[in-house]
Structure 1
């Protein structure tokens, strides 16, 4: 007896969708382990004074994650989503153990190579699998829920490790949490997650049924890379906004804890501020992704980049805890407006047959922002001080908002869909 064909939609696939949300929370928790503790660990235990050297772990993480993203999308299209998801967890298993035992900073950097691969493979697959399940009508909502789960877990892990470090030490106690996250995430992926490649093929068949000339949407990897990176105006705008957004996240991850420490804040308050940014980011995405399904993608992205820039400039306006908290809230709100909307815009434009590859290319550029951010933030902080670094990156963020508002077309509009079709001709 043959199984029934897959059905698209959130309600039709609710159980599997929820399972993927849970799995992505564990993926996010693996990154959150490091948000508070690792920059402080670099100074306190390894004696590293150079901001550029401290931020090397973020550059390494970002480079490996960016490369893993584009490989993940292509492998997921070719070999199936679940296999790539499980592979990501296998690579992530030793990360907390290496950080606990690391005798030198180079071992911590190596652990972040593995973490980057883990995040690139596992997080990419949770995104692509949710897009597969819900179909074309609720992509913004699906991405909002996915990213909300991931970044709320980032926030929770950052907050938890901050308090654990304050009560015990910077290591090993905070990283015991990571061992549990990795084991549970792997087991859940192996035993409870089902592959969604058949759902992608169902959407592809539906698309071709209403677009008889759709054969021209069959493109090579190289062509998908060109379309996503620069040939399509909307996807170019999305890719550069993603890069700048994660440049900001790299700054927040690697430099903010040190900046807060120079202001005399205790590690518990540093952990709270570090957690506040991804908490607002995570919670906000529950609404912003769905709103972009109704209001459109372009102006949600442009406004989100502008709000992030305001948050960065606010950060250096004063040293009071309330001012710093307000800046982190603004950064989180702006990122929440941008993050799921960028992914939904990619899914609006890319054909189902190469959507996974296109998402991987976008995430290559987006997570390349960690590398750019680490280099720019580290070099400018060493040369101009941390406040100078924050001002420069704030200006780049404002410029990104201008690029989106002037270059991007609205991907949800009929005219936008026509332009997307023309980009593949």
Structure 2
């Protein structure tokens, strides 16, 4: 390292940290791809190779993934604040190494569940850490844009990999071809994370040193010295914006968890081909991923609250369309609308946490928020499975629509606006 590079001061902002930010975006795309490799394939594998017919039992792998990922999010936030971001990122990718091999060689369904436990740890550690690192780098002015780019990369990769995995499954069978994608993603991510990613914790410390509270004093009680227990309580229940974000995140991922396990089975009732099912499933995260390129930056301009309320309402309407549908056209419209609603919500909720949490404990706050959000996978899988077993697949979608509408109402009533765009200077 040259003396000039060694003395170069840290700066916050997307442009000042463009190279590292772009690298983290690419790594988060690989994180999303690890989920996409299995979403189209596993529900079909459950029925065709393992003979599973009960929806609740089929959804066990989604529940195992969601619970494990939720727990891993907590450790990701805590460890990244205490030990640094990069070690947590690398450790998360080490947990991914056995996952594709277990899915390829699984002799029974419990191997699939075990693989998803490891995948949940991988996703919790890696995705949470890339979120925190990007917030560290960009500072307070561009959080929405940063989260939009992060989530667009992750869920865009879910969509592309879901579509590609569906194609490989149709051409070469359900195993092993789709899961070879995961082997490649893991090897590449370990190389990039270990050799090229730089630690960003000092950027958070720089922001903490420059931190100025809101003029209205609304965050004065959220000072730098909160304990882990206090951070958990504020993010989960006490602080209106943080707790509203946590419940909305849970419901959002409830919809995703339900769709993960249920949509391929619902679409199969219309005797669609594997390719068509893969395309339908890919439309949801594709619109979600691309939409976040717009909605994240939009929240920096117009604020967070109304975008979140509109997004949860849009998700409820989309689920109604899917519940009423019975063929490719109606379901395609519904899944695209569901993706649009999710795009309004997903990066904006993360930006809310970044707005409210003090830089000294922001990693832990992001971890707690993501605990609640990713528990939605398990809640959606279990709720969807029970309702589908008792009342049918369409009834499970109706239940999710109702829950999404209630979530939108909670945000509208309880959350305050957390981001106040800077006024444009007078000419």
TM-score by length of 1: 0.95
How many angstroms does 1:229 deviate by?
0.6
Instruction: Please name the residue that 2:188 is paired with.
Output: 184
Moved over 2 A (4+): 1-5, 208-217
Deviation per CA, 1:348-401, whole angstroms, max 9, x where unpaired? 000000000000000000000011111100000000000111101110011100
2:222–2:358 contact (8 Å) kept in structure 1? no
Q: 1:139 aligns with which of 139, 143, 146?
A: 143
Instruction: Please name the residue that 1:104 is paired with.
Output: 108
1:24–1:149 contact (8 Å) kept in structure 2? yes
Q: 1:151 aligns with which of 145, 149, 155?
A: 155
2:287–2:336 contact (8 Å) kept in structure 1? yes
Instruction: Please name the residue that 2:324 is paired with.
Output: 317
Q: 2:258 aligns with which of 228, 247, 251?
A: 251
Alignment partner of 2:324: what SS? Answer: coil
Q: Name structure 2 gaps, 5 residues minimum.
A: 422-427
Deviation per CA, 1:48-80, whole angstroms, max 9, x where unpaired? 111000000000000000000011001000000
Instruction: Please name the residue that 1:172 is paired with.
Output: 176
Residues 19 and 261 of structure 1: is their aligned pair in 2 closer, same or farther, counting only changes over 3 Å? same
Are residue 28 (structure 1) and residue 35 (structure 2) matched?
Answer: no
Residues 215 and 22 of structure 1: is their aligned pair in 2 closer, same or farther, counting only changes over 3 Å? closer
How many angstroms does 1:34 deviate by?
1.1
CA distance in 2, matches of 1:296, 1:353: 24
Deviation per CA, 1:86-120, whole angstroms, max 9, x where unpaired? 00000011100000001010000000000000000
Are residue 411 (structure 1) and residue 418 (structure 2) matched?
Answer: yes
Instruction: Please name the residue that 1:85 is paired with.
Output: 89
Alignment partner of 2:16: what SS? Answer: helix
Q: 2:276 aligns with which of 256, 269, 276?
A: 269
Q: Name structure 1 gaps, 5 residues minimum.
A: 415-425
How many angstroms does 1:209 deviate by?
9.8
CA distance in 2, matches of 1:244, 1:32: 21
CA distance in 1, matches of 2:325, 2:221: 56
CA distance in 1, matches of 2:334, 2:181: 28
Residues 169 and 208 of structure 1: is their aligned pair in 2 closer, same or farther, counting only changes over 3 Å? same
Between the two proteins, the alignment pairs up a number of residues equal to 414
Deviation per CA, 1:128-158, whole angstroms, max 9, x where unpaired? 0000000000000000000000000000110
Are residue 349 (structure 1) and residue 353 (structure 2) matched?
Answer: no
1:208–1:214 contact (8 Å) kept in structure 2? no
What are the equivalent positions in structure 2 for 1:277-316 lying under 5 Å apart? 277-316=284-323
Alignment partner of 1:301: what SS? Answer: helix
CA distance in 2, matches of 1:77, 1:120: 15
Q: 1:338 aligns with which of 312, 321, 345?
A: 345
1:147–1:339 contact (8 Å) kept in structure 2? yes
Q: 1:228 aligns with which of 211, 231, 235?
A: 235
2:38–2:178 contact (8 Å) kept in structure 1? no
Instruction: Please name the residue that 2:386 is paired with.
Output: 379
Instruction: Please name the residue that 1:401 is paired with.
Output: 408
CA distance in 1, matches of 2:214, 2:64: 44
Instruction: Please name the residue that 2:98 is paired with.
Output: 94
CA distance in 1, matches of 2:213, 2:280: 51
Deviation per CA, 1:233-253, whole angstroms, max 9, x where unpaired? 111110000000000000111
Residues 210 and 326 of structure 1: is their aligned pair in 2 closer, same or farther, counting only changes over 3 Å? closer
Residues 198 and 325 of structure 1: is their aligned pair in 2 closer, same or farther, counting only changes over 3 Å? same
CA distance in 2, matches of 1:171, 1:210: 55
Instruction: Please name the residue that 2:396 is paired with.
Output: 389
Q: 2:368 aligns with which of 361, 364, 370?
A: 361
Instruction: Please name the residue that 1:421 is paired with.
Output: none
1:239–1:366 contact (8 Å) kept in structure 2? yes
